[in-house]
Amino acid sequence: VVCVVGSINLDVMVRVDRNPEVGETVLGEAVARLPGGKGFNQAVAAGRSGAQTRFCGSVGDDPDGLFLRRALHDTGLDDAFLSVSKDLPTGMAHVAMLPESGNSIIVSQGANAALSARAAATAVDGADVVLAQLEVPASTVEVALAAGRVAGALNILNAAPTTGFTESLLAHVDVLVVNETEAAALGGVDALLGAGPESVIVTLGSQGSWWKSRAGDDLRVPAFAVDAVDTTGAGDAFCGALAAALSDGASMPEAMKRASAAGALVAMDLGAQTARLCVESLAELVAT
């Protein structure tokens, strides 16, 4: 069982020609409302990669929360660990999709800030892989990882966004996953490796990924050559599929290959979640 502890948001997406200046209003196209949040995206990717997956997160007591619970069901994930905050609204990401230059995003954390350590510790019980990110309180992540340690689970931390990072998390981490920007912001791979994790994986977009371990492993894994349309969520897919593969008993090189295939499949469609990611297409791409 993979247990993902993290954020769940409603992504409100608007295609727009350019960002407005201060004091200016620009017109965008029709709004698309999609399920998102790093935690939820990674849980969906783990589930679509074939792992039995739990998602532990928090939504508000509102229609957006119901929408997200339904989305969780629709992807076949267990919603038993989705808690409902009485006080805070469902988290929301306001995404301006800009031509070519990528997205500008404003996140209202909402109920994600209320994800409790107790809920996380309960959800982790019985999991063999725990996967967390930093869009929920670091104190909750730390308790989840500590509980995973005690239970003998493999702990994976995707240290994103780095603003949520605290050094004390690293003592509980087996595999740390960061992109290039995050690795630099956190002081570099060698400093991170010295602070607790068994290994660090740096994702490098279309340049692939890099694994370095305390045991001396040092491996570059190339990306799969695909026609990328939108790389939003590629990192989330990578993390979710990595967790699923490691839970399945794959070696790290094999798991990174499957994770890279998941990242590539998500890059082929708009948005962070896509039905294109499934066990069959993963196997097909990995075999190339």
Total of chain residues touching ligand ADP, rule CB under 6 A: 19
Q: Is 1 in the site for ligand ADP (CB under 6 A)?
A: no
**Can you tell me the distance from the alpha carbon of 69 to that of 84, in angstroms, rounded to the nearest whole number?**
10
The number of angstroms, rounded, from the C-alpha of 246 to the middle of its chain's C-alpha atoms is 16
Sorted by sequence, the CB contacts under 8 Å of residue 162 that are 6+ apart come out as: 134, 178, 182, 185, 186
Long-range contacts of 220-228 (CB under 8 A, 24+ apart): 221/253, 221/256, 221/257, 221/260, 222/260, 223/260, 223/263, 223/264, 224/260, 224/261, 224/264, 224/285, 224/288, 226/264, 226/265, 226/267, 226/268, 227/268, 228/264, 228/267, 228/268
Question: Which listed residue (74, 125, 236, 269) is catalytic?
Answer: 236
Q: Is 224 in the site for ligand ADP (CB under 6 A)?
A: yes
Binding ligand ADP (rule: CB under 6 A), the pick from 140, 260, 273, 274 is 260
Binding ligand ADP (rule: CB under 6 A), the pick from 7, 53, 133, 203 is 203
Q: Is 132 in the site for ligand ADP (CB under 6 A)?
A: no
Residue closer to ligand ADP by CB (options 91, 263) is 263
Q: Is 55 in the site for ligand ADP (CB under 6 A)?
A: no
Whether 87 is catalytic: no
Residue closer to ligand ADP by CB (options 41, 53) is 41
Binding ligand ADP (rule: CB under 6 A), the pick from 267, 272, 282, 285 is 267
Residue closer to ligand ADP by CB (options 84, 226) is 226
Q: Is 274 in the site for ligand ADP (CB under 6 A)?
A: no
